[in-house]
């Protein structure tokens, strides 16, 4: 059993897809752009909110309205990130059980730092000790760069020994590889098994209790 668990957030601990899709489509509507289905947004997520909006906005960053639309998305999402977002079934109980066993728990995400910390504080105040989000202004590059993982380990005061990364996407697999950590891939998130296998996933769990 591992002693340190570094979790991805969206698609791993929290089902955030509804609120992300709502914020994307609100921003697109406000700027007169076509909206996307929730399945479209599912495919767009995983590389941070800027990349999410680059994929959602026609012509991406080449669109002259990109920055304004992105700003609208950020403002709306920060105000509505808790509208429908919930932990996946079994996640709170699994985190509590790991904590009881003396495990150290952290979250690393490509969400904005403020949103990452707000969501972890709201949903997991007694279990997640450290939450690290996107913050390149502080020299913390977004995943798959290993910066968020190394920052989390440093803030926990632990090394990589007996640590594992838990995520749901190809980005998470690459983050674990660059961090030098083994990876457990969950099957309830934003990517399906075939996609994950194609990107190198080897160890799967289909329910949170299987982490115990």
- Distance CA(166)–CA(80), nearest Å, equals 26
The one catalytic residue in 8, 15, 170, 172 is: 8
Asked if 173 contacts 167 with a C-beta cutoff of 8 angstroms, the reply is yes
Give the torsion through C-alpha atoms of 118, 104, 204, 178, to 10 deg.
Answer: 80
The distance in angstroms from the start CA to the end CA of the chain is: 8
Q: Which of 164, 155, 149, 150 minimizes the C-alpha distance to 103?
A: 164
- Distance CA(38)–CA(25), nearest Å, equals 10
Is the previous residue joined to 104 through a cis bond, with omega within 30 degrees of 0?
no
Active site residue 8: yes
Work out whether strand 14-15 and strand 86-87 pair parallel, antiparallel, or are unpaired: antiparallel
Residues with a known catalytic role: 8
């Amino acid at each position: 059993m591992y002693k340190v668990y570094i979790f991805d957030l969206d698609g791993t601990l929290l089902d955030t897809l509804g609120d992300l899709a709502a914020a994307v489509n609100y921003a697109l509507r406000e700027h007169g752009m076509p909206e996307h289905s929730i399945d479209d947004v599912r495919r767009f997520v995983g590389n941070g909110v800027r990349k999410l909006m680059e994929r959602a906005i026609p012509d991406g960053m080449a669109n002259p309205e990109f920055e304004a639309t992105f700003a609208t998305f950020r403002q709306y999402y920060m105000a509505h990130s808790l509208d429908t977002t919930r932990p996946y079934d079994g996640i709170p109980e699994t985190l509590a059980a790991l904590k009881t066993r003396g495990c150290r728990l952290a979250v690393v995400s490509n969400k904005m730092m403020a949103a990452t910390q707000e969501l972890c504080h709201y949903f997991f105040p007694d279990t997640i000790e450290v939450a690290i989000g996107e913050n390149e202004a502080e020299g913390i590059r977004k995943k798959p760069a290993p910066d968020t993982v190394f920052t989390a380990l440093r803030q926990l005061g632990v090394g990589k020994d007996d640590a594992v990364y838990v995520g749901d996407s190809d980005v998470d697999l690459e983050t674990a590889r660059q961090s030098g950590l083994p990876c457990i891939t969950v099957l309830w998130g934003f990517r399906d098994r075939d996609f994950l296998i194609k990107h190198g996933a080897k160890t799967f769990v289909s329910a949170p209790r299987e982490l115990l």
